[in-house]
């Protein structure tokens, strides 16, 4: 099998958003296509079958070629602006499908939505029978529930797993909801998730070692605590994550040059095991990017470095010019 290279976008974005995918599937489809199509925009699309996903599963790879790759027979190295692997499962045929949880704690929801009711929290390494796929959501059967997990929290598989129950329903009709609630009422009580209140200014996550001179002061004038995420826009990853008490301010110092998004969650009852608020949680982001630059200026015999400092408030203030928008929990948690 030939050696292939993958783009930074594929490594950092596609695999992060679709952790159940495997690089070797891309290579299998490239080297054993069942169909190849050269598009007018100089892109080449490959279709192929992946045995691990069963006969009813197919993969599609879209490849943006560079000018030297004009003929399909010459494509031996993936040098792309985008490599996208889309796994489409049209049915489950006769093979059992399973999912394995890859997040430390994953929310099992009653409906396929980030705003759906959390009916349970499942742990990393647990394996469940897969019942249905709907977009980015996967309906699974646990010991006590039938509920939905987001694709970012699981890995697909086809093999043996310990299955203790069999799903009776595969969609959210009234009968399914009634039965699911009845099962919930019969299950043993789960120990409550522990909550704490970290000190204001506690760094929940320091996602980068890059540093600079920039400063960002964040004021939380609301009546609830907040988690603020400063996201490096160039790579789509969290740069700093800070806990801020209600009616308090903190300053993030030594920020490296670049453009950033600021996301924040407000709520009560912070659970460190889940890194989220359990009560009254809301999620928002600032609409505009925050840019930090550093420039040198010669003044006489000295060199001065100019840098940016900003101050933002999480609450509305008179005369404020920074706009915010509500976002989903899934968008907040993906960084």
Which of the four pLDDT bands, split at 50, 70 and 90, describes residue 110?
confident
Sign of CA dihedral 90, 144, 282, 330: negative
* The pLDDT value given to residue 12: 77
* CATH number of the domain enclosing 256: 2.60.40.1120
Phi-psi region of 207 (alpha: psi -120 to 50; beta: other; left: phi over 0): alpha
User: Looking at the structure, do residues 114 and 156 belong to the same domain, yes or no?
Assistant: yes
Tokens of 279: 């009560």
138-152, 160-174, 177-191: least confident range:
160-174
Angle at 170 between CA 164 and CA 176, to 5 degrees: 85
User: Looking at the structure, do residues 21 and 142 belong to the same domain, yes or no?
Assistant: no
Q: What is the mean pLDDT of residues 313-326?
A: 91
Domain membership of residue 195 (yes or no) is: no
Distance (Å, rounded) from C-alpha 104 to C-alpha 241? 18
Tokens of 137: 């959501």
Tokens of 49: 């079958």
Domain C-terminal end among 38, 70, 89: 89
* CATH number of the domain enclosing 159: 2.30.30.40
Which of the four pLDDT bands, split at 50, 70 and 90, describes residue 254?
very high
User: Looking at the structure, do residues 85 and 104 belong to the same domain, yes or no?
Assistant: no
pTM for this predicted structure? 0.47
262 vs 135, higher pLDDT:
262
User: Looking at the structure, do residues 235 and 305 belong to the same domain, yes or no?
Assistant: yes
Q: What is the mean pLDDT of residues 286-297?
A: 95
Distance (Å, rounded) from C-alpha 250 to C-alpha 287? 21
* The pLDDT value given to residue 311: 95
Domain membership of residue 194 (yes or no) is: no
User: Looking at the structure, do residues 146 and 211 belong to the same domain, yes or no?
Assistant: no
68 vs 102, higher pLDDT:
102
User: Looking at the structure, do residues 82 and 130 belong to the same domain, yes or no?
Assistant: no
User: Looking at the structure, do residues 103 and 69 belong to the same domain, yes or no?
Assistant: no
Residue 93 has pLDDT above 50, yes or no: no
User: Looking at the structure, do residues 79 and 105 belong to the same domain, yes or no?
Assistant: no
* The pLDDT value given to residue 308: 96
Which of the four pLDDT bands, split at 50, 70 and 90, describes residue 191?
low
Residue 278 has pLDDT above 80, yes or no: yes
* Residue with tokens 């004038």, as numbered in its chain: 221
Domain membership of residue 71 (yes or no) is: yes
66-75, 103-112, 116-125, 237-246: least confident range:
66-75
* The pLDDT value given to residue 51: 64
Residue 76 has pLDDT above 50, yes or no: no
As a three-state string, the secondary structure of 281-295 is EEEEEECCCEEECEE
pLDDT in tens, 46-58: 777 766 555 434 4
What pairs with residue 200 in β-bridges?
none
Q: How far is CA 319 from CA 16, 322, 323, in A?
A: 39, 9, 11
Domain membership of residue 22 (yes or no) is: yes
Of 100, 110, 333, which Cα lies nearest the Cα of 238?
A: 333
pLDDT in tens, 125-147: 888 888 777 878 888 888 778 88
34-48, 239-253, 269-283, 288-302: least confident range:
34-48
172-176, 214-218, 331-335: least confident range:
172-176
What is the chain's alpha carbon radius of gyration, rounded to the nearest angstrom? 24
User: Looking at the structure, do residues 56 and 150 belong to the same domain, yes or no?
Assistant: no
User: Cβ distance 96 to 153 under 8 Å?
Assistant: no
| Dihedral over alpha carbons 118, 131, 146, 126 (to 10 degrees) | -70
* The pLDDT value given to residue 286: 96
Give the domain extent around 268. 203-333
């Amino acid at each position: 099998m030939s050696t292939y290279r993958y783009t930074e976008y594929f490594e950092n974005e596609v695999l992060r958003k679709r952790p159940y995918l495997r690089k070797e599937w891309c290579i299998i489809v490239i080297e054993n296509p069942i169909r190849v199509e050269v598009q007018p925009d100089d892109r080449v699309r490959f279709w192929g079958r992946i045995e691990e996903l069963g006969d009813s599963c197919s993969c599609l790879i879209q490849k943006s070629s560079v000018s030297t790759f004009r003929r399909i027979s010459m494509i031996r190295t993936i040098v792309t602006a985008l490599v996208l692997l889309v796994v489409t499962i049209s049915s489950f045929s006769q093979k059992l499908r399973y999912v394995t949880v890859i997040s430390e704690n994953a929310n099992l929801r009653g409906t396929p939505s980030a705003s759906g009711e959390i009916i349970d929290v499942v742990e990393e390494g647990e394996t469940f029978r897969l019942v249905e796929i709907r977009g980015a959501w996967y309906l699974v059967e646990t010991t006590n529930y039938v509920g939905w997990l987001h694709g970012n929290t699981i890995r697909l598989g086809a093999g043996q797993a310990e299955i203790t129950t069999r799903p009776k329903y595969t969609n959210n009709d009234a009968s399914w909801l009634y039965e699911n609630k009845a099962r919930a009422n019969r299950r043993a009580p789960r120990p409550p998730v522990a909550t704490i209140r970290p000190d204001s200014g506690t760094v929940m996550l320091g996602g980068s070692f890059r540093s600079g001179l920039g400063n960002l002061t964040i004021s939380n004038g609301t009546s609830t605590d907040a988690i603020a995420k400063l996201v490096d826009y160039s790579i789509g990853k969290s740069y700093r994550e800070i806990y801020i008490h209600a009616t308090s301010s903190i300053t993030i110092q030594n920020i490296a040059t670049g453009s950033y998004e600021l996301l924040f969650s407000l709520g009560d009852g912070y659970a460190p095991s889940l890194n989220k608020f359990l009560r009254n949680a809301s999620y928002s982001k600032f609409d505009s990017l925050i840019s930090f630059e550093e420039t040198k200026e010669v003044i006489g015999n000295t060199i001065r470095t100019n840098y940016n400092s900003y101050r933002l408030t999480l609450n509305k203030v008179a005369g404020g010019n920074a706009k915010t928008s509500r976002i989903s929990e899934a968008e907040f948690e993906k960084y």
